[in-house]
Amino acid sequence: MVQQLLYRALVSTKWLSESIRANKLGPSLRVLDVSWYSPGTREARKEYLERHVPGASFFDIEECRDTASPYEMMLPSEAHFADYVGHLGISNNTHVVVYDGDHLGSFYAPRVWWMFRVFGHRTVSVLNGGFRNWLKEGHPVTSEPSHPEPAIFKATLDPSLVKTYEQMLENLKTKRFLMVDSRAKGRYLGTEPEPDAVGLDSGHIRGCLNMPFMDFLTEEGFEKTPEELRAMFKAKQVDLSLPLIATCRKGVTACHIALAAYLCGKPDVAVYDGSWFEWFHRAPLETRVPQRKGEKA
C-alpha cells in the first residue's frame, strides 16, 4: 500500500458551517453542489436555485464530461475540465468541498472528488453527510447563486487513477489488478435490471468482486469509519495492499470504492471510466456475466 500524507477526503458539516461563518469562502475555499438525478425524478439545478450551502456554485456534471462519447459520464479533456472549474473560481491553490443532495447522503460527490484528483488536484474533500445532513442539522441555506471571480486552473491527467477499456481487457489476461463492482447485488448478478436503461442488460465483468457502494454509508448518510471500512474490504477478500480497479454502471458509484479505500490509507485505486455501460457494448461475450439473454458465448 502506498504510504504518504493524504489530504483529508472528508470535512464535517460543522467544519464547513464554521468556515462559512468565519468568511473563509473565496479563492482559497470553494464549495460545489454536484447533484445529479435521473431524468424525470428530481431537477438538480432547480433545487440548487431554491436552496444550497451559502457560497456554493453549481457543478453540472452533464456539462463537465465528454459529450462526444457514446458512453455515459466519461471524463472531459484536461482543457475542458480546467476551463470549467476555472470559471467556478477554482485555481490549483483552492481547497474544494463537494456535496450532493441525494437522500443517501452522498452519491455523485465522490465522482467529482475523484475527477479533481484525476486532473492533478489533491486539495478536494467530500462533505460528510451531504446536503441531507446539512439541512437536518439546521445549517444555513440560501437561494442566492454564487458568482465567483474566474480563476486559472491547470489540469494534468494522472493516468494511474483511470482505466480504459483496452487496459481492462489487458487486465483480464494479466490479472494484475483486483476488480470490484460497486453496484447493488442484483444488478451485479444480472437478476435485477439496470435502471433507466435501454439495450443494457445487467451483469458484471468476469472476475469482478461485488461491494455495493451503499454499504459504505451509515443509515444516517455518513461515511463509515476507516476501521469499519477496512473490515468490509477484508470480509470481501479485497486486499488493499494490491492494485485495485473500481467499476460500476458509468464510473460514478465506483468512486465510492476509491473514496473508501482512500480513507483506509490507499490513495491509488483506479476507476474504469466506461464501466459496465462501455463493457457491455464493446467487450467479448465470454467476458460478461451473465450473457445477454438468448446469446451463447
As annotated, the active-site residues are 248
Q: Please report the beta strands in the chain, taking only residues with DSSP state E, as ranges in sequence order.
A: 10-11, 29-33, 57-58, 95-99, 124-127, 162-163, 178-181, 204-205, 209-210, 244-247, 270-272, 288-289
Longest pairwise C-alpha distance within the chain: 63
The values of phi and psi at residue 136, to 5°, are -60, -35
Distance in angstroms (rounded) separating the CA atoms of residues 137 and 13: 8
Contact of 176 with 243, CB cutoff 8 Å: yes
Residues contacting residue 207 through CB under 8 Å, at least 6 positions apart: 172, 175, 179
How far, in Å, are 8, 24, 86, 120, 293 from residue 92 at the CA level? 16, 17, 9, 9, 48
DSSP codes joined into one string, 29-93:
EEEEE-----TTT--HHHHHHH-BSTTPEE--TTTSS-TT-SSTT----HHHHHHHHHTTT--TT
> What does the alpha-carbon distance between residue 159 and residue 190 come to, in Å, rounded to a whole number?
31
- C-beta separation of 75 from 162 below 8 A: yes
Q: Is-cis flag, bond preceding 290, omega within 30?
A: yes
Closest CA to 119 of 62, 80, 148: 80
